[in-house]
Amino acid sequence: MLNLQTHKARFTNPLYLESGRILEPYEIAYETYGTLNDDKSNVIVVFHALTGSHHVAGTYEGESKAGWWDGLIGAGKTIDTNRFFVICTNVIGSCFGSTSPMSDNYPSTEPFRYKFPVLTIADMVKAQYILFSSLGIHHAFAAIGGSMGGMQALQFAQRYPNFAARTIVLAATHATSAYAIAFNKISQEAILKDPAFKNGYYEKGAFAQNGLSGMAIGRMAGHISFLSHSSMSKKFGRDYVQNDGLYELFGRFEVERYLEYNSYNFTRWFDPLSYLYIIKAINIFDLGRGYDSLADALKHLKTKLTLISFKADLLFLPQESLEIHQAMQANNLPSTYIEIDSNYGHDAFLVELELFKEHITKALQ
């Protein structure tokens, strides 16, 4: 039984952030699936990626689009909700119900906008840990996430080593590379330079109808980084849009139409300030910051770690996951490293579920 339930929790105690700032009060939107057993030993925490949300599985009433990992989570699926109680939160800073830059800056009814504090991945997981504690959940059977979700899973294992018995990380890294930061810079500049962005002082819902052109351009760069040369060639080749003339200046190849459609559509439902704040958190992420080495940063982990990378991932290279595995080995800590032979690119963790389902099943045994 999926038993999808949507919740929102409000906290009035201050959340002390890594920057030294305070967020108070704040809200966290989250969803649960399955049934929590009596001793609360069947919890699996799922962390979402940059543009994901707490809606990880199932469909809402009246809607057809399923949660972003619906192929993996549900009754009888790899993460079986007949067995496990799954919980996924919307990170603070995101625009799907948790406190974000466009939330009211209490006690004012005006949005935070730039008064919202810069967040880190550690701040996100700290808020999640407080939520789980408020629910009486002090231990998880497993924690799992891909991309930015994998960053959260790693950060959680580091900051709260007694929480998750198993941690499964897909398509992630221990520190965001210059290559990834460069793509985020394109997104940032494109958003900031769009006059419709109004330097962050746009009205709520301003882009619901027509989107934000600058953000769409930045998102196009993001889409390219999520795929690979091979997957783009296989998906689009040199196919031309049939209704566009080959010798029209703005006639489009299918890959161009794909980028236009997905990127402009994206800007109708994802808030640009949230995007700026979250990519900043991704850029800052460095598991080894403040430690002598990555091995030193991981030496207190008590979780059984499974690292899954994808061969053609250009955003977070397999080598970056392998470095985490080697750091765990240096500490004689339990770690399994798997490189999936996939040509899809970074987004394989969302798309090519059949290639890694068995590895998750094994990690959950």
The SS3 assignment for 25 reads: coil
What confidence tier does 32 reach under pLDDT thresholds 50, 70, 90?
very high
The token pair that represents 55 in the structure block:
């809606």
74: left (phi over 0), alpha (psi -120 to 50) or beta: left
Distance CA 59, CA 306 (A): 29
Burial of 301 (0-12, 13-18, 19+ CB in 10 A): buried
Neighbours of 357 (CB within 10 A): 15
Amino acid at 269: W
What confidence tier does 328 reach under pLDDT thresholds 50, 70, 90?
very high
Distance CA 71, CA 69 (A): 5
Name which CATH class applies to 5-177+286-363: alpha beta
Q: What's residue 173's pLDDT?
A: 98
Judge contact between 286 and 176, C-beta under 8 A: yes
Quote the Cα angle for 286-289-292, to 5°.
Answer: 130
Name which CATH class applies to 180-280: mainly alpha
Task: Sketch the domain layout of the chain as residue ranges.
Answer: 5-177+286-363, 180-280
Task: Please choose, from the candidates 49, 97, 21, the residue with its C-alpha nearest in 3D space to the C-alpha of residue 285.
Answer: 49
Reported as a single tens digit per residue, the pLDDT across 273-317 is 999 999 999 999 999 999 999 999 999 999 999 999 999 999 999
Judge contact between 153 and 349, C-beta under 8 A: no
Task: Tell me the residue ranges of DSSP E strands in 244-351.
Answer: 304-310, 335-340
Reported as a single tens digit per residue, the pLDDT across 151-207 is 999 999 999 999 999 999 999 999 999 999 999 999 999 999 999 999 999 999 999
Task: Tell me the residue ranges of DSSP E strands in the chain.
Answer: 5-11, 15-16, 22-23, 26-33, 43-47, 73-74, 79-80, 85-89, 142-146, 166-170, 304-310, 335-340
Reported as a single tens digit per residue, the pLDDT across 37-96 is 999 999 999 999 999 999 999 999 998 999 999 999 999 999 999 999 999 999 999 999
Distance CA 38, CA 255 (A): 51
Q: What's residue 79's pLDDT?
A: 98
Topology alike, domains 5-177+286-363 and 180-280: no
The token pair that represents 70 in the structure block:
């619906």
In the predicted model, what is the mean pLDDT of the chain? Answer: 97
Distance CA 287, CA 154 (A): 8
Burial of 63 (0-12, 13-18, 19+ CB in 10 A): exposed
What confidence tier does 148 reach under pLDDT thresholds 50, 70, 90?
very high
* Residues belonging to the active site: 147, 313, 346
Distance CA 306, CA 333 (A): 11
Judge contact between 85 and 44, C-beta under 8 A: yes
